[in-house]
Structure 1
Amino acid sequence: MPDKMPVRVAIAERVLQLAWKDPQIVVVTSDARGSAAIEKFFETFPDRSIETGIAEQTATGISAGLAFSNKKVFLFGPACFYSARSLEQVKNDIAYSGANVKIIAVSGGVSYGPLGSTHHSLHDVAVYRAIPNIAVILPSDAYQAAAMVDQIVETNQPVYVRTGRNPVPFVYSSENDSFKFGKGNVLKEGKDIAIFATGEVVWHALEAAKILTSSGINATVVDLPCVKPLDEDLVLQIARATKRILVAEEHSIHGGLGEAICSLLCRSHPVPVEIIAFPDEYPVTGNQSQVYSHYGLDFAGIAKRAQEFLRRY
């Protein structure tokens, strides 16, 4: 087993595995067959595979129709387009209609890197949080992604899953206990501050906690793969214990996990909160690692912000 793996590949491989046992599983893509497992799905199950080309709105409508024909639909396509170009179709054909479609939005956040802001998706969590009847999930590694597929394939509801493009280090040592729908996972316990993260930033949060430990700061690290529904009980429990919250996410400062947590805490248990996310600007151009570093979303940046935050509170 390599030390890292693209989350999108893990999802595609698990969908292929499950399809051997479940003839109701179908795959729809809009020019997104780059994963070897999705290409293998098309080769293995041609009668359960649909490629629309660069036509996300069409792919969304087809997926909804298949869902209402009792199919379990996995719709693969770029996150930047499924959170913009086909948003009306997702809102009406899938969410409003309650179609059992799992949108696997690949290459999310800034993982398209040098292609720039037209291909970044830093507003998608905000958009989908505001649409009723659709869950929002950001897996942190390949193990969690595979476990997630096993669970969401059995749910009869729309789901938006945002993944990156590049290989991601493993956060978990196996699929066991890595994912439970609507729940978060405490990865490390500490009394000084809590770091909440989602998606590919989770590994950086864990590495940042190691840096903080070396400087005498004990941090709790929490993985929240489900931004919606949010594990409110866990967030409140951690907030009461640590009294200081840092949120790190590959998303705009507006409308993401940070604001979801702030809304909950403002209503139920106010404590100081710091959000590390993208400011209200179009990000600098570069590869994903370079952009993370520029905005302080890598482990060094998270550790630095945590130290500054603790000096203020």
Structure 2
Amino acid sequence: MSDVKRIATRESYGKALVELGKLHENLVVLDADLAGATKTAMFQKEFPERHIDCGIAEGNMIGVAAGLATTGKVPFASSFAMFAAGRAFEQVRNSVGYPKLNVKIGATHAGISVGEDGATHQCNEDIALMRTIPGMVVINPSDDVEAKAAVKAAYEHEGPVYLRFGRLAVPVINDNPEYKFELGKGIVLREGTDVTIIATGLEVSESLEAAKKLEADGISAKVINIHTIKPLDEKLVIESAKETGKVVTVEEHSVIGGLGSAVCDVLSENYPVKVLKIGVNDVFGESGPALELIKKYELDADSIYKKVKAFVS
């Protein structure tokens, strides 16, 4: 996929905020001394009076965002996923989730692909944490097109939303006129009969590549892009499991509590089938180039292909 355009979804986040800011004067952006990294600096440059740098104090930032939401503003509180979901969890739960406030959390630098920043910054637990908060919508876009659409959908949704973005530039796969983003609706990218691959985030493009390799071996893989992990598209998950009889989930997140767990919850109650969860296997990350780490932790297309092939066989 070397000839495919690649854009980091954190870049998409920054650009989307600027475009929405032009349309909606009630949109405000907060960051925790990371505007350059989260790309909210784009919004800061365009609308300095609507950008608040809260300093390295994520818990306080979430509290400020909650207060702004009570005045009719729509705040996007931005930081690295490790700090937005991890450090500020209590404030997100009690100050945003419990009162059901209209706060949007833009969490960048999620997952192993943070790369050289290492284990302390590679948050592989954020989806699990945010899923447990009642009423929290959790979105993990797969590319530039989807990330921009997700930010718009988050603004339009009344209630708390957690948006997960990456540092690594990833292939643009949704740049087509048929693409449509709907909260809570998965997208079938490829039909198949032998196995269903349900992927999220940057793993969607890797799963598509894996499906091509499987096809060469005579294995027909259905590929589904799940951008909204909560609420999950349960109907699509169940229907696909019935069609293929086997399900594989792929995520750049811990196999505990993320997309795989959400899918298993649905299937165990409605249509039990064999499920293979591909993700970070209950270990911490390490420092290194992002692409090498994705390969080492077996989240690349070739590793997915090998695991799915063995699973189906």
**TM-score, structure 1 normalization:** 0.96
Alignment of 1:85-96 (within 5 A): 85-96=87-98
- The residue number in structure 1 matching 2:278 is 276
Secondary structure of the structure 2 residue equivalent to 1:297? coil
Deviation at 1:111, TM superposition (A): 2.5
Give matches, 1:194-209, under 5 Å: 194-209=196-211
Give the deviation of 1:46 after TM superposition.
1.5
Contact conserved, 2:9 with 2:166, CA < 8 A, in 1?
yes
1:62-211 equivalences under 5 Å are 62-174=64-176, 177-211=179-213
Contact 2:17 2:151 in 1 (8 A): yes
Kept in 2: contact 1:30–1:54 (CA 8 A): yes
Pairwise CA distance, 1:43: 2.1
Aligned equivalents of 1:143, 1:196: Cα separation in 2: 19
The verdict on how the C-alpha distance between 1:131 and 1:22 changes in structure 2, with shifts beyond 3 A counting, is: same
Tell me the SS of whatever aligns to 2:87: coil
- Which residue number corresponds to residue 295 of structure 1? 297
From 41, 63, 73, the equivalent of 1:39 is 41
What secondary structure does 1:111 align onto?
Answer: helix
Instruction: Tell me the distance in 2 between the aligned counterparts of 1:119 and 1:284.
Output: 9
| SS of the residue 1:305 aligns to | helix
SS at match of 2:292: helix
Counterpart for residue 261 of structure 1: 263
Determine the C-alpha separation between the residues in 2 that align with 1:140 and 1:51: 28
- Within 5 Å, give how 1:220-231 maps onto structure 2: 220-231=222-233
197-206 or 109-118, larger mean C-alpha shift: 109-118
Deviation at 1:34, TM superposition (A): 1.4
Residues 9 and 35, structure 1, Cα contact 8 Å, conserved in 2: no
From 23, 26, 31, the counterpart of 1:24:
26
- Aligned equivalents of 1:273 and 1:183: distance in 2? 21
Name the SS of the counterpart of 1:118 in structure 2: coil
Contact 1:194 1:220 in 2 (8 A): yes
Paired with 1:42 and 1:203, the residues of 2 have a C-alpha distance of 31
Cα distance in structure 2, aligned partners of 1:31 and 1:217? 48
Q: Which amino acid aligns with 1:130?
A: T
Aligned residues: 311
The Cα shift of 1:73 comes to: 0.9
| 2:248 pairs with 1:239 | no
Identity rate of aligned residues, in percent? 38
Give distance in 1, aligned partners of 2:150 and 2:38.
20
Q: Which consecutive residues of structure 1, in runs of 5 or more, have no partner in the other structure?
A: none
Whole-Å Cα distance in 2 between the matches of residues 287 and 269 of structure 1?
40
Worse overlay, 246-255 or 33-42: 33-42
1: distance between equivalents of 2:218 and 2:240? 20
Counterpart contact for 1:172–1:178, Cα < 8 Å: no
State the 1:33 CA deviation: 1.0
- State how far apart, in whole Å, the 2-side matches of 1:165 and 1:309 are: 31
Secondary structure at 1:117 match in 2: coil
The DSSP-based 3-state class of the residue aligned with 2:22 is helix
What residue identity is the alignment partner of 1:184? Answer: G
- In the alignment, structure 2 segments of 5+ residues that lack a partner are none
Give the CA deviation at 1:175: 7.0
Paired with 1:127 and 1:13, the residues of 2 have a C-alpha distance of 27
Shift of residue 26 of structure 1? 0.5
Residue 225 of structure 1 aligns to which amino acid in structure 2? H
TM (norm. structure 2) is 0.96
